[in-house]
Amino acid sequence: EEVIRVEDLTKVYGRGEAAVHALRGVTLTIARGEFVAIMGPSGSGKSTFLSILGCLERPTSGKYYFAGRDTTSLDEEGLAELRNRQIGFVFQAFNLLPRFDLVRNVELPLIYAGLPRRERRQKAVAVLERVGLGHRLYNKPPNISGGEQQRVAIARALVTDPAVILADEPTGNLDRRTGFEIMRLFKELHEEGRTIVMVTHDPEIARYAQRILHFLDGKVEREERVE
């Protein structure tokens, strides 16, 4: 079953002389439960592609189907709903709220979803336990390590039980050992059936995925199966 399908996707920033062709026709599908890595040189369109998959940006042309639904026909509200309910984001810079404890950071997406407080707490605590932070629930982000902060961000991405996790350089701010620990967590989530799409510059990190898409000049130049 495919969860993502894009057809001849293009993205042009600006117009006329100043136009930048960030994506020049990307066609691919991602099956439910797949773990896909995206690699490629700086400026090859990786972030733009991830932003479109995350419904943060719209393509200039082409089609994007999410779970069979044509996203290009959705209005802003429809896109926001898809983004909030079906997609979990993990960023290089963690993007946690420093004054809120870990439980409050993780329950935030559920506030937008309108869940009652008790249910929110229960779910936030459960996912924090899942990522190995059951003993840190009421700490604040500045008082935990970078690897722990990224685990909190992963817990926040998981708490709405999204169909897809999108990760942009999730190990980019971590030392190598901590980066591999985070990848072991991604691998477990994949083995539990999650769909993960991750951008990385690091070939060793990419090898945790099943499939690597190599971007070049706004296109998928080649695809690699990881043994």
Which residues lie near ligand ADP (CB under 6 A)? 13-14, 20, 22, 40, 42-48, 168
Least distance (Å) from ligand ADP to the CB of residue 47?
A: 3
Nearer to ligand ADP, 42 or 73 (CB): 42
Nearer to ligand ADP, 43 or 132 (CB): 43
Q: Give φ, ψ of 175 to 5 degrees.
A: -70, 165
Structure tokens at 169: 């350089």
Nearer to ligand ADP, 128 or 215 (CB): 215
Kindly report the number of other CB atoms within 10 A of residue 193's CB atom: 8
Least distance (Å) from ligand ADP to the CB of residue 43?
A: 4
Q: How far apart are CA 90 and CA 155, in angstroms?
A: 9
Q: Per-residue DSSP letters for 78-142?
A: HHHHHHHHHEEEE-TT----TTS-HHHHHHHHHHHTT--HHHHHHHHHHHHHHTT-TT-TT--GG
Best CA proximity match to 183, nearest among 195, 199, 166, 170: 170
Buried b (16+ CB within 10 A) or exposed e, 103-136: bbbbbbbbeeeebeeeebbebbbebbebbebeeb
Least distance (Å) from ligand ADP to the CB of residue 218?
A: 7
Nearer to ligand ADP, 14 or 142 (CB): 14
Kindly report the number of other CB atoms within 10 A of residue 25's CB atom: 15
Least distance (Å) from ligand ADP to the CB of residue 22?
A: 3
Buried b (16+ CB within 10 A) or exposed e, 69-81: eebeebeeeebee
Least distance (Å) from ligand ADP to the CB of residue 169?
A: 6
Least distance (Å) from ligand ADP to the CB of residue 168?
A: 6
Nearer to ligand ADP, 43 or 146 (CB): 43
Nearer to ligand ADP, 20 or 111 (CB): 20
